[in-house]
Amino acid sequence: MGLFREQQAGRIRMLLVAWYENFAAWEESRTPPPIAAENFRRRAELTRGTEAIATRLLRRSAD
């Protein structure tokens, strides 16, 4: 997990790599609790775009 930052021509791009138990947990994280709603709103005002990519780790079979 990590947060990466790159700055070019006055713009900052950030990449957040996070782990969620499942897609339901990810969906739940999209709705902030009331105490954090203002921070989410301010962040949304600064954001020009987002992109979500979901991946899964495959486990090796026991053979």
Residues 4-20 have pLDDT tens digits of 999 988 888 999 999 99
Whether 63 maps to a domain, the answer reads: no
Whether 25 maps to a domain, the answer reads: yes
Per the structure, the complete domain to which residue 22 belongs is given by 2-46
Total domain count, the chain? 1
* DSSP secondary structure letters along 15-33: EEE---SSHHHHHHHTS--
| C-alpha closest to that of 14 among 41, 40, 42, 50 | 50
Please tell me the pTM assigned to this model: 0.61
Q: Residue 13, Cβ neighbours under 10 Å: how many?
A: 11
Residues 26-54 have pLDDT tens digits of 899 888 888 998 998 998 998 988 888 88
pLDDT score at 63: 66
